[in-house]
Amino acid sequence: MIFQNHTKQLLMAAGIAAAALFATQAGAQDQAAPAQETQPSVQPPTTQAPAVTQSEFSEEKLQSFAVAFLEVDKITKEYMPKMQQASSEEEQKQVRDEAGAKMVEAVEGSDGITVEEYNKIIESAQADPDLAQKISGYIQQSAGGQTAPAESAEPETAQ
């Protein structure tokens, strides 16, 4: 039961991080190519495309995801207090944009995975408990086999 709760917490954090990645990636693309305003910078998933299943991700891709996830998680933990201390919406946006840019950088700096693949894995893991459990194992393995501090501490909720 604790493992299941821990996996859910990881996926919730991953979902938040993915949202930041999507927002930042879209913003960065908008700034980089203002002349292409007619082209959407992020393609939303279509209802026709089936969810990607666990078997569609290689072991290497999932291992790369785990490494990238740990980097994104560090950034999330670094920026969470800054976000809470921000006194205005403008400051919160600035902190969110800065954190998102660092998250994108962290994923792009990880070998064997792109931001798009990272986000697809998160989306798939949220719909596939077996994949989520498998990813959790890779994350623990990448972290040196240590359990995450969230398991032994009070869980933080983002409301």
Q: Answer yes or no: is pLDDT of 31 > 90.
A: no
- Write the pLDDT tens digit of every residue in 43-97: 334 433 445 555 689 999 999 999 999 999 999 999 999 999 999 999 999 999 9
Four-point Cα dihedral 22, 118, 37, 93, nearest 10: 20
Measured from the Cβ of residue 157, the count of other Cβ atoms closer than 10 Å reads 7
Would the pTM of this model clear 0.75, i.e. be above it?
no
Q: What is the mean pLDDT of the chain?
A: 73
The sign one gets for the Cα dihedral 53, 57, 63, 64 is negative
Answer whether residue 75 is part of any domain.
yes
Q: Is the pLDDT of residue 138 over 50?
A: yes
Range of 15's domain?
A: 2-28+61-146
Higher per-residue confidence, 131 vs 40 = 131
Confidence of residue 11 (pLDDT cuts 50, 70, 90): low
Half-sphere exposure of 78 (CA within 13 A, CB side): 13
How many domains does the chain divide into?
1
Note whether residue 49 is domain-resident. no
- Sequence-distant (≥ 6) Cβ neighbours of residue 49 within 8 angstroms: none
Is 89 part of any domain?
Answer: yes
Q: Looking at the domain assignment, is residue 72 inside a domain?
A: yes
Q: Is residue 125 part of a domain?
A: yes
| Within a domain: 44 | no
Query: Tokens for 115?
Result: 């931001």
Q: Please indicate, yes or no, if residue 37 is contained in any of the structural domains.
A: no
- Whether residue 68 lies inside any domain: the answer is yes
